[in-house]
Chains A and B, each alone.
Chain A
Amino acid sequence: MQPMAASGGSFATPAPAPSPSLLRTHELSLVYPGGNTALAGLSVDVPRGAVGLVGANGAGKTTLFRLMLGLLFPTHGAIEVVGRTVASDPIGIRSQLGYMPEHDCLPTDQSAADFVSTFGELAGLPARAARQRASDVLDLVGLDEARFRPIGGFSTGMRQRTKLAQALVADPELLLLDEPTAGLDPVGREEMLALVERLAGFGISVLFATHLLDDVQRVCDHVVMIDGGRLVLAGPIDQLVERTGMVRVEVGGRADAVPALANALTQRGIRVKVLDQHVIDVETTGDGDEVYDAVRDQIADLGLRLYSLSSRHRSLDDLFLQEASRP
């Protein structure tokens, strides 16, 4: 993800690139009439693919969705979705998007086939094509046999899949999924994640809003973390996690083994965190090999005993907590 190269609330280079970004925002801010700031100067450039949008409740995830769908307009800044500036066609942009809300939104007296084909027609598909598409996507999400049953008799997992099917029925370029695993049991959650992963494999971009970082790490290539309407961190998950890997080192041989090792590593510009009198975490940000070599050399130089050395990648949770807690 690249920082935006524009200013003044508009994009410096509005001409569409051959492969436009999934989402570009520049200094995007939204302040509600009551003075509540929902988004504050958010600038990101997210490539196509499966992208996690992470933040606690009230972080601004749903507000960002509303801005993407053209249901709200920013008080400052600009937003571009699948290569189109939302402000120039706030209604037309919705033809490219499929939205799956977090909350229950299904009429209990309708069948899944009827409901999904209804939303196909509302997306502008001819009636016959909408029915065919409804059948196809319900098959895809695993509801082929239940599609003529009333939604009122569906389990939570089936309801979530029905919501996903209606988002998919018009073949959108981008799916906006708002907490798709909320309320699901472990099996249902696993099935939903597998489904989202599969969709990404079909070339459908997904923006996956959640506060469950494990879900994002499981299915997404990129992540955007926001907190209090501000960008915390954004980038490819692999790089972020690798860049912030850690080595846990357990040493002994003398009473001040850990302080001595910590001091020596810190002097070499390596960040460490002392856990107890025998264990120390060493950050491997950047080139991990050099850090491993440095740890080995310092232990040898100090004449310490090495009991164990294990590498571990930080989870997105660690990253989020670390970045969000920075002033």
Chain B
Amino acid sequence: MTIVGSTQGGAVYDRGYRPYEGRRGGRAEARWALWRLTIRRALGLRRSWRQKVMPWTLLGIVTIPAIVNVGVGYLSRDTPASDFRFITYREYVGVSAAMLLFVAVTAPDAVCPDRHDRVLPLIFSRQLTGVDYVLAKVGAIATIVFGFSVIPQLVLFVGQTLVSDNGALDYYLDNDEVLWQVPVAAALLALWYAVIAVALASLTDRRIVGGIALLGLALVTSAIAGVFIGANDGEHSIMFLVNLLALPLALRDVVFLGHLHHSSPLSGSEGAAWFAGIEYAVITVAAFALLFWRYREVDL
């Protein structure tokens, strides 16, 4: 350290350059860092309050049914209405439009600016490959969707356990299967939303286009499925599988019930659950393939 100037009673020091001698991670740490940084950005952490409003408001919205259910359960304790259920654990997985809106906002925000601001060359000048980038980005969005799916369920489960007429232990033992069903169904849903949303967003460098593309795809496939159902005189039809929003709900039913729920537009169609599983796998793999192709190389 050298003194570059002095004043009465003080001195200005040029601290120069200090080499870094601490711990330094490799490729795995870089991938984790990208995952962590993407989550931080999506949740608005270390960003202005404006960036925090959207994710945390949506988390609040998706938690409302759980709070209402627990509240009703508490108020109706020891009454004939105590068995009232506003929503079940199965229904609570993937029914919120808020979740779709959240993914439509956060997935493009996770990848579009990197291309738009030409940050990708800098990212790939670190110990990261296109595969690492895709896994970190999809993983981050899937993690948040998973969290936003599971946290309200936890609120519901803990709340119901505490207000149960039969006592907390009985409620827990009667419903402990949801402790694996909810995470598995939420994980399937989170991966589905995340990989499709990120794949669509990777095709553009404009966030709004990426978001509209996801919402548009959901709307169009839903409308097409509606047309098929209409053409089938409202009967259940396997063609409902074209509805990309409804597809993971069929898998959710299988996770919770072992078969499709009777209210599902797919129920009654032979092999519908298998077809749903195959379609899920094919589209997920195709979306990953698109992402790996989009980030296979980058120009400096």
Instruction: Establish whether residues A199 and B300, one from each chain, have CB atoms under 8 Å apart when the complex forms.
Output: no
Query: Are A122 and B33 within 8 A (Cβ)?
Result: yes
**At the interface, yes or no: B49 with Cβ under 8 Å from chain A?**
no
A171: chain B residues within 8 A (beta carbon): 19-20
Chain A: minimal CB distance from B45 (Å): 11
Asked whether B18 lies within 8 Å of A136 as measured between CB atoms, the reply is yes
A92 touches B23 (CB 8 A): no
Interface string of A61-78 (1 = CB under 8 A from B): 010011001010000000
| Nearest CB in chain B: distance from A287 CB, A | 40
Task: Evaluate contact between B30 and A140: CB separation under 8 angstroms.
Answer: no
CA distance A44 to B104 in the complex (A): 51
3 shortest interchain CB distances as A-B pairs: A124-B25, A171-B20, A99-B125
Among listed B111-119, B251-259, B260-268, interface-contacting one: B111-119
Considering only residues 302-318 of chain A, those with a C-beta below 8 Å from chain B are none
CB pair A199–B297 under 8 Å, yes or no, is no
| A122 pairs with B17, CB closer than 8 A | no
CB of B127 closer than 8 Å to a CB of A: yes
Q: How far is the CA of A124 from the CA of B27 in the complex (A)?
A: 7
> Could you tell me which A residues sit within 8 Å of B by CB distance?
62, 65-66, 69, 71, 91-92, 94-95, 97, 99, 101, 103-109, 114, 118-119, 121-127, 129, 133, 136, 139-140, 166, 170-171, 178, 199, 202, 204
B300 A126 Cβ-Cβ under 8 A:
no
User: Does B20 contact A69, Cβ atoms closer than 8 Å?
Assistant: no
| A199 CA / B24 CA spacing, docked (Å) | 21
Instruction: Verify B30–A123 contact, CB threshold 8 A.
Output: yes
Not counting A69-B300, A125-B23, a sample of 9 additional A-B residue pairs whose C-beta atoms are within 8 angstroms of each other reads: A66-B300, A94-B126, A108-B117, A121-B33, A124-B24, A124-B26, A127-B36, A136-B18, A178-B300
Q: Say how far A99's CB is from chain B's closest CB, in angstroms.
A: 4
* CB within 8 Å: A-B pair count: 104
B292 CB → nearest A CB, Å = 16
Complex contact B127–A105 (CB within 8 A): no
What per-residue 1/0 map shows which CB atoms of B112-145 lie under 8 Å from chain A? 0100011101111111110000000000000000
Q: Contacts A95-B24, A124-B24, A126-B23 known; A105 to B29 CB distance under 8 Å?
A: no
CA distance A62 to B299 in the complex (A): 9
Residue pair A133, B20 in contact (C-beta under 8 Å): yes
A-B contact pairs, 28 of them (CB 8 A): A62-B300, A69-B124, A91-B129, A92-B26, A92-B27, A92-B127, A94-B126, A95-B127, A97-B125, A99-B300, A105-B119, A105-B122, A107-B113, A107-B117, A121-B33, A121-B36, A122-B123, A123-B127, A124-B24, A124-B127, A125-B24, A125-B25, A126-B25, A139-B15, A140-B17, A166-B122, A170-B20, A202-B17
